[in-house]
Amino acid sequence: MEVRAVARFVRVSPRKARIVVDLIRGKSVAQAQEILAFTNRGIVETVEKTLNSAVANAEHNNQLNPSTLFVKAAYVDEGPTLKRIRPRAKGSASRIRKRTSHITIVVAPREEA
């Protein structure tokens, strides 16, 4: 039984968010929370909030024990890009792309073999 949580339209570029999400993929929830606590990136708060939401969904909706959960999948998709214009020399303009991300974290209980 997998449970997921999605944070949509997060105002950070997907490339920056993937750096943090790659750190926690495949780890246990406790280990992932520990890694996020000591990672010095701006997006960490949002990733941690999404991870905690996935754990709460698993605990509340599916009665799963949080200590047995691990991060089965974690990925970042590109959201819509806000396009802005910056004035440049000689009356020209350049485009500024303000990128957004959709962060998805899937947790599942680890099967004991």
CATH number at residue 24: 3.90.470.10
Per-residue pLDDT of the chain (113 residues; tens, 9 = 90+): 899 999 999 999 999 999 999 999 999 999 999 999 999 999 999 999 999 999 999 999 999 999 999 999 999 999 999 999 999 999 999 999 999 999 999 999 988 65
Range of the domain at 104: 3-109
Predicted pLDDT of residue 42: 95
The answer to whether 35 and 51 are in contact (CB under 8 A) is: no
Domains in the chain: how many in total?
A: 1
pTM for the structure as a whole = 0.92
Q: Would you state the structure tokens that stand for residue 97, as one six-digit string?
A: 């792309």
**Cβ pair 40, 62 in contact under 8 A:** no
Task: Provide the pLDDT for residue 111.
Answer: 80
Give the angle subtended at the CA of 64 by the CAs of 77 and 107, to the nearest 5°: 20
pLDDT of residue 112: 63
